[in-house]
Chain A
């Protein structure tokens, strides 16, 4: 069964500091994609970053980067220079190679403190 686990229900970080959110997943597939989505108080899910398992290079999008460890099935999100607008729920997500049925973790609530 495909599962996604986020073990940090809540985290906080000082503005301008760096924070890392953890995610582990389970799959028997060799090539796949992983995603991080952000859900601010408005509740709209916004894509943050995605990673292809086949690529060894970690994905980066501006202040957001991932640490992808395929063997360990770990996919953490690093947010650098945290901003107040980063306050949100962050979900790690994995879609098996059968369509757009995404499995989401339980989320990490991140608060950026001014």
Chain B
């Protein structure tokens, strides 16, 4: 069974631009969550989607948005990029949500550099 797939793996953007990252979950997984990892802030939760609905959202500005499609694939978008958005963006998928104990499985991440 294929793992969580994230594209693109690496990208460089200019301040003020926008970026879209894609995540394909493990087959059969309906929950997709996104995390931002930076040296200064560590791993921070961005948002979670389940059945095309956003379930939870972390403490990030409205420039960060996401969506989920009927096949459970998810995209996240960051508009008006800032230098501080440079980070590793990790996508994780899980079979379900709402119950403690769901294990989340991560993709390899998308490295975003904003210059």
Contacts and interface: CB of A to CB of B under 8 A. Distances in A.
Contacts of B102: 95, 100
Interface of B: 31, 33, 35, 42-43, 45, 48, 50, 55-56, 58, 88, 90, 92, 94, 97-109
A15 B31 CA distance: 38
B101 A52 contact: yes
Contacts of A28: none
Interface in A1-44: 29, 31-33, 35, 37, 42-44
Contacts of B108: 42-44
A100 B104 contact: yes
A109 to B, nearest CB: 12
A97 B98 CA distance: 7
A102 B104 contact: yes
A43 B105 contact: no
Given A50-B101, A100-B94, 15 more contacts: A32-B100, A33-B100, A45-B90, A47-B105, A91-B43, A99-B97, A99-B98, A101-B33, A101-B48, A101-B56, A102-B35, A102-B43, A104-B42, A105-B42, A106-B42
Given A43-B108, A45-B90, A45-B106, A99 B101 contact: no
A50 B103 contact: yes
B97 A43 contact: no
Nearest to B90: A45
Contacts of A32: 100
B63 to A, nearest CB: 20
Which of B43, B45, B56, B94 has most chain A Cβ within 10 Å?
B43
Which of A37, A52, A96 has most chain B Cβ within 10 Å?
A37
